[in-house]
Structure 1
Amino acid sequence: MSTPHWLFGDQLGPHFLARGADGPGRDAPVVMIEARSVFRRRRFHRAKAHLVLSAMRHRAAELGDRVVYVRAETYREGLREAAPDRPLTVHHPTSHAALRLVRSLPHVRVLPARGFLLPHEAFRAWADEHGGGRLRQEDFYRWVRRELDLLMDGDAPAGGRWNHDHANRETPPKGSRTLGAPAPYRPREDTVDEEVRADLDRWEREDGIRFVGRDGPRRFPATRREAQAALRRFARHRLAGFGPHEDAMLAADPVMSHSLLSSSLNLGLLDPAECVAAAEDAWRAGQAPVNSVEGFVRQVAGWREYVWQLYWYFGDDYRHRNALRHHAPLPDWFRELDADAVTARCLATVLAQVRDTGWTHHIPRLMVLGNFALQRGWDPRAVTDWFHRCFVDGYDWVMLPNVIGMSQYADGGRMTTKPYTSGGAYIHRMSDLCADCAYRPSDRAGPRACPFTTGYWSFADRHRALLAGNQRTARAIRGLDRLGDLDEVLRTDRRWDAGPP
C-alpha cells in the first residue's frame, strides 16, 4: 500500500500530488487536517478563514474516498486520528513553524517544496555567489528569467528591455472614477461555503474564536477549476490593461486591472509556471503589450519567488529585525479595521477595503498602510502579524520579507536601498484619494496638514543620521534642514499619536 501523503491547507493543487522522484504519486492516500488551534492563535480576517476552510473542504470533496479529512484541535491530534504511527510524506511546508512541526514527527518524511519556480538550493547558490548581503530583486529577476527562459528572445529580454517600469507608472486617468477594465472573475458560493459560514458562526458563538473584518460573499477562488477560470479571464481580458496603471489607486475601483490571483497561488491552486506561461502566450499571440506582460511576470517570477526564497535564506531570526528601533504598539482602530474612525480619506478608504474584502493591491499596502505604520514607528513584528492575519493572501513567508524588509525597513537595507516612505504628494499624484479629504497633501503644519506629509518629515527628523548617509535619501535630509517650520511640523505630527488621523 502507498505511503499516505499529508496535504497542508496551502498545498491544494494537483501538482502537490503529482508523480515523480520527489512526489507522493497520484494514487497515494491523502491526509488533511483542519486544526482549530490555527484560528485560536491569531485573530484572522473572517473572509480569510472562510476562504482557507472552503478551499480545503472543496479539495477534500474532490479527492473523495482517497482522503481522510480530520477536524481536530491541533495538527498532532489530527495525525493521531488520521494515521496513528503510520509513515507519512509531506511536501516542504511554507512556514518555519510548520517545518519545525513536521521535522519533530518521527514518522513524517519531508519532500521538496512545490508551488514555486526554483529549488532552495539553486537560490542559495545564486545568493552565496552574490555575497549573501544585499540581494537586490532586479538582479534576481534577470537571473531567474535567463535561468528559466521566461519572456526571452534567445539571450535577450522579450521586447528589448528587462524592465518596463517606465511604462507602468502612469497616474490614474483624470476625471475617471474607474479604470474601465473588464470585470474580474468572481466565484459563486455553494453548499460548502454555507457549511463553512455556519461553522465560523458557531466557533465565534461557542468556542471563543474571534475574527476581524467582514465575511462574504466569497470573492476569491476556492477550487482549482475556479482558479483556472480566474487565470483565463485575466490573461484574455484584463492583462492587456494591467501594466500602465498597476501603481495607481482609485477610491471607487480598488481592483482596477489587477489579476486577483495571489490567493490562488498561495493556496497552491495555481502553479506560478502556468501563470507566467499564460501571460507570455498572450504577448506572443499579440493579445497583450509587452509592458503589461513584463509587469505581471515581474510580480510572479520576480517578486513572489524572490520573497519566498528570501524567507528561507534569511532564516527564522529575520522576524526579530528592528533596525530603526520602532516599538510603538498598533492602535486599536488599526487592529480592528475601524475605517469609520479615520478622517484621512486615503487611509480610511484602504482600511475599509481590507475590512470588507481582506484584500487591496500592492501600492495601498506599501504606500498607504505600510507607509503610515513606518512613519508612526509601530513595532515591525506587530505590523507583520497584522498583514498576515488581515489579508486573504497573507502567509508567514509572504509577509515576513514584504513587511520586515520592504515596507518597514526593519532589516536595515538587506532587501531595499532605502525606506519606502513618502508624503501626501505621492498619494495625491498616484490616486484620487486626496479629493474631498479634510487634509491637504501640500500642508505640513496646521489644522489641515496631511498626516502623511507631517509623518514624512517627522520620520526624516527621527532618523536623520541614518538617512543622511544614504545617497537615495540624503536629499530629503538636506530639505529637512531648510524647513523653517520644523518645530511646528513635529508638533502637528504628534497629534496622530493620540488617535486616528
Structure 2
Amino acid sequence: MTTAHWLFGDQLGPHFLAPAAEGPGRDAPVVIIEARSVFRRRRFHRAKAHLVLSAMRHRAAELGDRVRYVRSETYREGLREAVGDAPVTVHHPTSHAALRLVRSLEQVTVLPPRGFLVPLTEFHAWAEERGTRRLRQEDFYRWVRREHDLLMDGDDPAGGHWNLDHDNREPPPARVDTLGAPAPYRPREDAIDEEVRHDLDRWEREGVARFVGRDGHRRFPASRREALAALRRFTEHRLAGFGPHEDAMLAADPVMSHSLLSSSLNLGLLHPLECVERAEDAWRSDKAPLNSVEGFVRQIAGWREYVWQLYWHFGDDYRDSNALGHHAPLPDWFLELDADAVTARCLATALAQVRDTGWTHHIPRLMLLGSYALQHGWDPRAVTDWFHRCFVDGYDWVMLPNVVGMSQYADGGRMTTKPYTSGGSYVNRMSDLCAGCAYRPTERSGDRACPYTTGYWAFLHRHRERLAGNHRTAQAVRGLDRLADLDELLCRARDLGDAPP
C-alpha cells in the first residue's frame, strides 16, 4: 500500500506533491486535517480564518477521491481518524510547534522543506562560513542571486548594481489620491466560500472560536488557479509601476502597485522561484523597468527567504528576546482593531486597513503599527502574536523575525543595525496621511503634538544609554540635548499612555 502524505494548510501548491526521491509519489493518497484547536488557541482575524479554510477546502476539492479531508478537534485526532496507525509522510512544517508535533508522532516521516529557494542545510553552511560576522540580508540576497542566476549578466548583477533601493524610495506624487495603477486581481467567491462563512458563523455562535476584524468578500487567492491569475495580473499590468513608490503610503490607495502575492506564497499556492522568474522575464522583454523588478525580486528572494532562514537559524527561544525590556500590554483599542477610536490619521488609517482586510503593505506595518508599539514599550512577544493573528499572510515563521528583530528591535541588533522608528516628519514625507490630521508632525509637545514625534523622542530618551553607543542612532540621541521642551515632551508622552492617540 502506498504511504499517505499529510498536507498542512500552508502546503497547498503542487510542489508539495511533486514526485521526487524524498517526496510522495504522484498518486500517493493525501491527508488534510482541519483542526479546530488552531482556532481555539488564538483569536484570528476573521478574513484570515476564511482564507485559510477556503484554501484548504479548495485544495481538497481539486484532489478529489485522492484526499482524506478530516475535520477534528486536534491534528492528532484527525491523523488517527484518517490513517489509524499507518505510516505517513509530511514535508517539514513551517513552525517550531508544528515540527515538534510531527516529530513526536512515530508514524510520521518528516521530509525536507519545500516552497523556498535555499535548503536549510545550505543556509547553515553559508552562516558557518561567516563565523562571528553579522548575517546581513544584503550579503545573503547577493548569494541567492548568484546561486539561482537571478537578474544576473554573467557574474555581475543586471544593470551593474545589486540593489536599486535608491530608485524605490520616492514619496507619493503631490496632489493625487491614488497612483492610478491597474486594479489587482480579485477572486470570485464560490460555494466553498459560502460554506466556510457559514461554518465560521456557527463556530462563533457555539463558542468554538472568536475572531477579530471583518470578513468581507474574499480578496486573496484560495486556489492555485487563482494564485496564478494574480501573479499574471501583477507581472503583466502592475509590476512596471511597483518600484518607485513601494515605500509610499496613500490613504485612499492602500494597495498602490503592490503585488498582494504574500498570502499565496505563504499558503504554498505559489513557489517563490516562479514569481521571481516571471518578474525577470518581464524586465528582459522590456515590459517592466529594472528598478521595479529588482525591488520585487529583493522582497522575495532576499527578504522573505532571509526571514525564513533566520526563523530556524535563531531557534524557538528567539521569541523570548526582549533586549529593550519592553513589557507593556497591548491596549484594548489596538487588540480590537478599533480604528474609529484613534484620532491620529495615519494610525487610524492603517488600523482600519487591518480591520477591514487583514492586510497592509510593509511600510504601514513597520513605520506605523510596529513603530507605535516600539515607542510605547509594548511586549514584543504580544506584538508578534498580534501580527500573526491579524494578517492574512501572517505565520509564526513570518512574524517572529519580522517583529522581534526588524520591528521591535527586541533582539538587540542580531537582525538589524538600528531600531526602525521615526517621528511624524517621515510619515509626512512618505504619505498624504498628515493632511487633515488633528496633530502636526513638526510639533513635539502640546495638544497638537504628533504622537509619533513625541513618541520618537521619548523612546530615544528612555533608551539613551544603549542608543548612544550605536553609530546609526548616536546623532539622534545627541539631539535630545538640544530640545528645550524635553520635560514637556516627556509629560505629553506619559499622558498618551494606553489611550488611543
User: TM class by shorter-chain length?
Assistant: over 0.9
Question: Take 2:347 and 2:153, find their aligned partners in 1: how far apart are those partners?
Answer: 43
- Pair 1:160-2:134 in alignment: no
* Matched residue, 1:270: 270
* Matched residue, 2:405: 405
* Matched residue, 1:378: 378
Question: Take 1:456 and 1:56, find their aligned partners in 2: how far apart are those partners?
Answer: 43
AA at the equivalent of 1:395:
Y
Asked if the contact 1:51–1:218 (Cα under 8 Å) also holds between the matched residues in 2, the reply is yes
Question: Take 2:127 and 2:180, find their aligned partners in 1: how far apart are those partners?
Answer: 42
Question: Take 2:91 and 2:352, find their aligned partners in 1: how far apart are those partners?
Answer: 36
* Matched residue, 2:416: 416
- Pair 1:87-2:78 in alignment: no
Residues 357-366 or 487-496, more deviating:
487-496
Question: Take 1:91 and 1:132, find their aligned partners in 2: how far apart are those partners?
Answer: 31
Question: Take 1:208 and 1:269, find their aligned partners in 2: how far apart are those partners?
Answer: 28
* Matched residue, 2:357: 357
Question: Take 2:195 and 2:96, find their aligned partners in 1: how far apart are those partners?
Answer: 31
Shift in Å, 1:129 = 1.2
* Matched residue, 2:46: 46
Question: Take 2:129 and 2:449, find their aligned partners in 1: how far apart are those partners?
Answer: 48
TM-score norm. by structure 2 comes to 0.99
Aligned pair in 2 of structure 1 residues 383, 133: CA closer, same or farther (>3 Å)? farther
Question: Take 1:209 and 1:13, find their aligned partners in 2: how far apart are those partners?
Answer: 27
- Pair 1:388-2:388 in alignment: yes
For residues 91-142 of structure 1, what are the alpha-carbon distances to aligned partners after superposition, in whole Å with 9 as ceiling and x for unaligned?
0000000000000000000000000001000000111111256211111101
* Matched residue, 2:5: 5
* Matched residue, 2:223: 223
Asked if the contact 2:247–2:363 (Cα under 8 Å) also holds between the matched residues in 1, the reply is yes
- Pair 1:493-2:493 in alignment: yes
Question: Take 1:446 and 1:74, find their aligned partners in 2: how far apart are those partners?
Answer: 53
* Matched residue, 2:313: 313
Question: Take 1:208 and 1:70, find their aligned partners in 2: how far apart are those partners?
Answer: 17
Asked if the contact 1:236–1:287 (Cα under 8 Å) also holds between the matched residues in 2, the reply is yes
TM-score norm. by structure 1 comes to 0.99
Question: Take 1:207 and 1:68, find their aligned partners in 2: how far apart are those partners?
Answer: 27
AA at the equivalent of 1:139:
D
Asked if the contact 1:133–1:414 (Cα under 8 Å) also holds between the matched residues in 2, the reply is no
Residues 186-335 of structure 1 aligned to structure 2 (within 5 Å): 186-335=186-335
For residues 396-434 of structure 1, what are the alpha-carbon distances to aligned partners after superposition, in whole Å with 9 as ceiling and x for unaligned?
000000000000000000110000010000000000000
AA at the equivalent of 1:351:
L
Asked if the contact 2:331–2:498 (Cα under 8 Å) also holds between the matched residues in 1, the reply is no
Aligned pair in 2 of structure 1 residues 62, 498: CA closer, same or farther (>3 Å)? closer
Gaps of 5+ in 1: none
Residues 184-193 or 124-133, more deviating:
124-133
AA at the equivalent of 2:5:
H
For residues 473-496 of structure 1, what are the alpha-carbon distances to aligned partners after superposition, in whole Å with 9 as ceiling and x for unaligned?
000011011111100000011122
* Matched residue, 1:470: 470
Shift in Å, 1:208 = 3.8
Aligned pair in 2 of structure 1 residues 498, 66: CA closer, same or farther (>3 Å)? closer
* Matched residue, 2:171: 171
Question: Take 2:123 and 2:403, find their aligned partners in 1: how far apart are those partners?
Answer: 21
* Matched residue, 1:111: 111
* Matched residue, 1:482: 482
Question: Take 1:492 and 1:261, find their aligned partners in 2: how far apart are those partners?
Answer: 41
AA at the equivalent of 2:352:
A
> Secondary structure of the residue that 1:135 maps to in structure 2?
coil
Question: Take 1:207 and 1:5, find their aligned partners in 2: how far apart are those partners?
Answer: 32
Shift in Å, 1:498 = 4.1
Question: Take 1:495 and 1:439, find their aligned partners in 2: how far apart are those partners?
Answer: 15
For residues 316-349 of structure 1, what are the alpha-carbon distances to aligned partners after superposition, in whole Å with 9 as ceiling and x for unaligned?
0000000000000000000000000000000000
Gaps of 5+ in 2: none
Asked if the contact 2:47–2:216 (Cα under 8 Å) also holds between the matched residues in 1, the reply is yes
> Secondary structure of the residue that 1:231 maps to in structure 2?
helix
Asked if the contact 1:92–1:113 (Cα under 8 Å) also holds between the matched residues in 2, the reply is yes
Asked if the contact 2:168–2:243 (Cα under 8 Å) also holds between the matched residues in 1, the reply is yes
AA at the equivalent of 2:222:
A
AA at the equivalent of 1:319:
R
> Secondary structure of the residue that 1:287 maps to in structure 2?
coil
Aligned pair in 2 of structure 1 residues 208, 344: CA closer, same or farther (>3 Å)? same
Identity score, percent: 81
User: Could you list the runs of 4 or more consecutive aligned residues of structure 1 that deviate by over 3 angstroms after TM superposition?
Assistant: none
